[in-house]
A and B are shown apart, each in its own frame.
Chain A
Amino acid sequence: MSFAEVSDLYQDVILRHARQPLHMRRPAQIDATASGDNPMCGDRCQVFVHFAPDGSARNIGFEARGCAISMASADLMAEAATGRMPASVRALAADFAALVRTGATASHDPAIEQLKPLSGVSEYPSRIKCATLPWAALLAALDGATEATSE
């Protein structure tokens, strides 16, 4: 018996990002920050944003405790959202939410490709929130809130 059955969920890229997240750090300069909590499992994710003068997210970092899915999702999110204007981050967040709920995407946003390794979450309804938690925190930070409101 192996865990071949879960390779749809735990793709290598996810395990890699979960083990060694590249963006799990507090940026030197922080313009906005917000936390998201998943009270059912105790996962917590705080996202930090430093904006460029044009209003785009120059630097995104996070601090988190949680499962492999939420850690990898936070790291992939930081990678995909960096350099974007807030409106474009929100659009990508909506595309991502659809991706993890349905397993597919109609998005033409090139960044969605980076996030596709998380599409397997759609087969695990109890785990969808793990993947969306960092995004909820990021959107809250963009809105000037300090806490993501739970769905």
Chain B
Amino acid sequence: MNQIAPLPATAFDVERIRADFPILSQTVRGKKLVFLDSAASAQKPRAVIDAMTLAMETQYANVHRGLHWMSERTTDAYESVRDQVAALLHAPSRDEIIFTRNTTEAINLVAHSYGRSALQPGQAVVISEMEHHSNIVPWQMLRDAHGIELRVAPVTDGGELDLAALETLLGDRRVGLVSITHMSNVLGTYTPAERIASLAHEYGARVLFDGSQAVVHRAINVQALDADFYVFTGHKLYGPTGIGVLWARAELLEQMPPFLGGGDMIASVTFEHSTWARVPHKFEAGTPAILEAIGLGAAISYVQSIGYDAIAAHERALTDHALATLSSIEGLHVIGRAQDRGGVVSFTMDGAHAHDIATLLDRNGIAVRAGHHCAEPLMHRLGLDSTARASFALYTTRGEIDTLSESLHRVRSFFQ
């Protein structure tokens, strides 16, 4: 494995990266695994696996309550990940980082806490047509429970956010929050977050970005974006499941009531009355996902050791190659043609249903997603029932995309 001459520090050595991911050497149905479903959940590097195992083997207890060595060390480890996440997002303060279970829980936290306290009945929340269900359903629930209006900003036929239409939706200044994806999990489209934030603020609205996909591929600076809320999940960022992040401006978090009540989020409790712990602990009721947070910390370190510039360049080259290769397959249609797009490519094929495509590819060891990708309204907007989706990660190779392409040629002839 290690007989390759050392590369200059700036080069992106995908084979060396792949060696960090034990699962990538697995075979599936007798074929080499070609994992092109990282947008659903990414594989984990050895560093993450080891960090979680090591914590369980050497240094584990509950956090924030034990007056003993193990608890203190575990608390340090857990809390240091808060520092790491703050640095990752370029957040002004570590206290603005709230650990949640995933993106879904982070958005539900905002909808429930901010939505019911800061938003008044009659005010509106704007989402877009290309949201994941996790950024649709919590707002529908808020609408039904709290009387807010839910507005939907359209996407263009090319799969980009229609900014002019967004501005129209903001025009009556009744919008309290704009909640929009930073990168579409179906189309790969990056949304122009700075412009969305500046538009929202111009009309007196706050802005939340769903960074579930974006944070995997690009350096995020919540201050440069001028965001008010930013959420992401750990398992797409090469970390474990069960850990996600909500970042919000401190002044918002201070005003927001708790989401869940219980241990760890209180300052004092009597049967008559309880007072809340300070931010961020006010929003972290119960024993948190300690090991998962430690795993997330290892994942962030791993990604940063490679560097977002290198990752972005690698994935851009892969995406360009995939778009060129797949578009040349007769009868195959790539969905979306945004100018600014990342390593997620959805497609349909004449005469072949997405599920049949996925099953055939699976027989060649290729894992892709097929279906509506938890974005049914976007599918309806595009006039589709389902698509197949290949998504790329820092461990994806050009050769894997060629394997996908060769197999798709065969799928095409199979169903003709």
Contact = CB atoms under 8 A, between A and B. Distances in A.
Interface string A38-81: 00111110000000000000000000011111000000000000
A68 B353 contact: yes
B406 A1 contact: yes
Interface residues of A, number: 22
29 contacts: A1-B364, A1-B407, A1-B410, A2-B410, A3-B360, A3-B363, A3-B410, A3-B411, A6-B359, A6-B360, A10-B360, A15-B415, A41-B355, A41-B370, A41-B371, A41-B372, A42-B376, A42-B385, A42-B386, A43-B355, A66-B353, A67-B353, A67-B354, A67-B356, A68-B352, A68-B356, A69-B355, A124-B359, A127-B359
Interface in B341-395: 351-356, 359-360, 363-364, 370-372, 376, 379, 385-386
B415 A68 contact: yes
B403 to A, nearest CB: 9
A92 interface: no
B29 interface: yes
A93 interface: no
A19 B407 CA distance: 21
B414 interface: yes
A72 to B, nearest CB: 11
Interface of B: 29, 351-356, 359-360, 363-364, 370-372, 376, 379, 385-386, 406-407, 410-411, 414-415
Contact of A42 (B29, B360, B364, B379): B379
Contacts of A69: 355-356
B385 A65 contact: yes
A151 interface: no
Contacts of B352: 68
Nearest to B386: A42
A127 B354 CA distance: 12
Given A42-B372, A42-B385, 6 more contacts: A5-B363, A10-B356, A10-B360, A41-B372, A42-B371, A69-B355
B359 A9 contact: yes
A127 B371 CA distance: 12
A-B interface, 3 closest residue pairs, ranked by CB to CB distance from nearest: A67-B353, A42-B385, A67-B355
Given A41-B370, A42-B371, A42-B372, A3 B355 contact: no
Nearest to B352: A68
Residue of B355, B363, B385 contacting most chain A CB atoms (<10 Å): B355
A130 interface: yes
Contacts of A15: 415
Contacts of A67: 353-356
Contacts of A124: 359
Contacts of B360: 3, 6, 10
A3 B416 CA distance: 14
Chain B CB within 10 Å — which of A1, A44, A124 has the most? A1
A87 B410 CA distance: 43
A97 to B, nearest CB: 20
A123 B187 CA distance: 31
A44 B354 CA distance: 14
Contacts of B410: 1-3
Contacts of A66: 353, 355
Contacts of A9: 359
B31 to A, nearest CB: 9
A121 to B, nearest CB: 10
Interface in A1-46: 1-3, 5-6, 9-10, 15, 19, 40-44
B414 A40 contact: no
A100 B360 CA distance: 19
